[in-house]
Amino acid sequence: MNGNFNIPKKVLIAPLDWGLGHATRCIPIIQSFLAMGSEVVLAASGPQAQILKQEFPQLTLLPLPGYAVRYSKKGTTLALRLLLQAPRILKTIREEYLWLKQVQKIHQFKLIVSDNRFGLWHRAVPSIFITHQLQIQIPNSWLEKKIQRINYKYIQRFQQCWIPDSIQPSLAGNLSHPQVLPDVPMHYMGPISRMQQLDKSIQYKYCFLLSGPEPQRSILEKLILTQIDQLNANCLLIRGLPGAQQTLPATQNCTIVQHAATDELMQLLASSEYIICRSGYTSLMELMAMQRKMILIPTPGQTEQQYLADYFMQQGWGLASTQDSLDLSATLQAASEYHYHFPTLAYFNTDRLQELLSAIVWHRH
């Protein structure tokens, strides 16, 4: 057998467009495929495409429309708003499936890697679905089971599902370890992170790391800016707006950065004692890799982020707060009294990718 048998010659990698996390967590996966000698083609649009193009200017990037989910200003109405958009989301899933059928005729991919894009699978090509969210958090248990069945129905169209988490200790908790798994080969690939722990002197007491969809990103930003002058400390605000034209001026005690690519972001985070951020799963994986002290403010209405913030606080990995009643001074005081600890984790790397590839059935009959 050829030693390169399990190295696909040409790979398509496409992240979901809900926030930036799906795109950023694909970066180490892309790097590993490139390190093995695969040709990688990317598919994305909007801010996700900008991030990937910034990190990999040499790679082909195919324009692929996203799900373009619209979020509400009130967290309490988010579930209803998402439900009303369901027909359009289902239409997009169908369109991306048909898009891939046409693109495959031109590019002849040997492997397809879809980060949470349900329609990006092909009958004739090994197709991998990446998700940490096997159990979608819904307040109603009947509805939660129904949504899980729909989720699994889509996942089971793929040849395999790769989960960016460990079996133990688990960063995603019940989200990635439900009682019932999909009927498709499942592999825990390890947490994924662009970041690693750096030994740097502290320059900023507090780093406010903004991310996620609008309008909630801007709402949190305004809340922070109205209170930041009250803090007697050197602060950093990273707005998380790649390609944005409108900038904000620095305040007396706060440096403001529009967006930071991987290397710059890692340096900034390593120079900060506390990181105040959303509890999106990609942010959590990266900050745990850097062993940073986190203050987590889940996006209102996003039950996954609310669950993760509570779960991290129970484990002693981060302090959970809320956006609706955000009092920065009180929250930061609580963080100074909180006992943080960090577990030992085996993160995804190129060796792990080779193990995952060895489990793929390359020839379908």
pLDDT at site 169: 95
The span from the CA of 178 to the CA of 279, in Å, is: 20
pLDDT at site 178: 93
Instruction: Mention every residue, 6+ apart, whose C-beta is less than 8 A from residue 326.
Output: 220, 223, 227, 297
Domains contained in the chain, CATH given: 10-191+347-358 (3.40.50.2000), 204-337 (3.40.50.2000)
What are phi and psi for residue 179, nearest 5 degrees?
-65, -35
The 3-class secondary structure across 263-314, one letter per residue, is HHHHHHHHCEEEEEECCCHHHHHHHHHHCCEEEECCCCCCHHHHHHHHHHHH
DSSP 8-state symbol, 72:
P
Closest by Cα among 33, 14, 32 to 23: 14
pLDDT tens digits, one per residue of 106-154:
999 999 999 999 999 999 999 999 999 998 877 667 777 888 888 999 9
With a cut of 50, say whether residue 228 has pLDDT above it: yes
CB-based contact 268:207 (threshold 8 Å): yes
pTM: 0.90
pLDDT tens digits, one per residue of 91-103:
889 999 999 999 9
